Structures are given as C-alpha cells and as structure tokens.
Amino acid sequence: MNPDWAKMQGRLPAIVQDADTLDVLMLAYVSPEALDLTRSTGQAHYFSRSRGRLWRKGEESGNVQHVRNLTLDCDGDALLLGVRQEGVVCHTGKATCFHHPLLGQPPALQQLWRTITERKAKPEGYTGKLLADENLRLKKLAEEAGEAIMAVKDRDRAHAVREFADLQYHMWVAMAAMDISPGDVAEELAKRAQA
C-alpha cells in the first residue's frame, strides 16, 4: 500500500510514539520528500505547516529522532512512527508534546518516566540531585530495596505498596542515569519470554 497523498493535499499526519515505551510524543505532518528522507536517513523529517518547509526533527535543538519503525494506516492517510528520541521531544522541555490534560490524568508510570526524562535533560529538584550524585543514587536504591524487603517480611501490604513505589522510582532514576529505558528492560523480558 502507498500513502494517499492526493487525498490529503500532499501532507499526511504522523503520530510519533516512543518505540520502546510506546508513549505518544507528538503529532506532525509529513510530505513525500520528508518521508523519503526519513526512510533514507533513518532520522525523522517532517513538513512544517507554519514555516512552509521541510525540517529534520532536532536540526536546531539536537533532539533528533531515530526512526525504528514506520507504519501506514488502513486507508493510507496517516502514519505512525516509532522513534528513539534523543533528549526531549517538546520545545517546552517536556517529554511529550501532549502535556495539557483536559480530562483525566496520564498513567502514573508513564508520567513518572516522563518526569525523570525531563529532569535528566534539565537537572533540577530531588531527581536532578539523584542523577548528579552516583553515591546518593546507589545508597537510596539499596535503602529502598531494604525497606521493601522489611515491609514484605512484616506482611504489611499498605507499607509494601509505598516501599515498592519508592523502589520503582529509585530504580528508574538509576536506569535513566545509565541511559537505560523501561523499553530496554521490556526488550530483555521479551527475549526471556521466547526462551
């Protein structure tokens, strides 16, 4: 199947998703030329409707998108891109362009990873402190693991939930510090599921 350029006046909307975490990052428009360049270079190219020209994501910010997969929808008038995002996607410094909730809240785990990603790009707050200090990071990880073990040993369910939440946070900060994403962990788990 080929993109239906005629139907959409030569522009197709592209939903851009983190290839590993499946978080929705942004929506942009693609021209035939942008699609060719994306396929030949492996880096996401779009057509800016406001600037009226082709652009490569990250050409100014350095926040490049490495395209892992590219899929056309059922009737050929929309694209889905799975990318590895360098830095953060949004010019506001947010880890997704979709950050104005109108109804409900984003899933907490996704939101937690977004926040850690944002702190890594722009270190601030407690997460920024942990990311900058390896000793503190490792100490907290061990401490929270120990507390989780104690809560499990005490069979205190409510306490264990709180400790596992702490552990998850500190584990993800430690992962982020090493450029490991939840998607990398998921990939490893998928390998084991096949074995």
Contacts with Zn ion, residue ranges (CB under 5 A): 90, 97
Q: How far is the CB of 46 from Zn ion (least distance, A)?
A: 12
Q: By the 8 A CB rule, do 170 and 148 touch? A: no
Q: Pick the closer one to Zn ion by CB: 57 or 119.
A: 57
Q: Pick the closer one to Zn ion by CB: 51 or 157.
A: 51
Give the closest residue to 94 by CA, choosing from 119, 76, 61: 119
- 73: exposed, middle or buried (Cβ count in 10 Å: 0-12, 13-18, 19+): middle
Q: Pick the closer one to Zn ion by CB: 91 or 162.
A: 91
Q: Pick the closer one to Zn ion by CB: 24 or 138.
A: 24
Q: How far is the CB of 142 from Zn ion (least distance, A)?
A: 37
Q: How far is the CB of 91 from Zn ion (least distance, A)?
A: 5
Distance CA 189, CA 166 (A): 22
CB crowding 44-63: b at 16 or more within 10 Å, else e: bbbbeeeeeeeebbbeeeeb
Q: How far is the CB of 58 from Zn ion (least distance, A)?
A: 13
The DSSP annotation for 11-59 comes to -EEEEEEETTT--EEEEEEE-HHHHHHHHHHSB-EEEETTTTEEEETTT
Q: How far is the CB of 18 from Zn ion (least distance, A)?
A: 14
Q: Pick the closer one to Zn ion by CB: 99 or 162.
A: 99
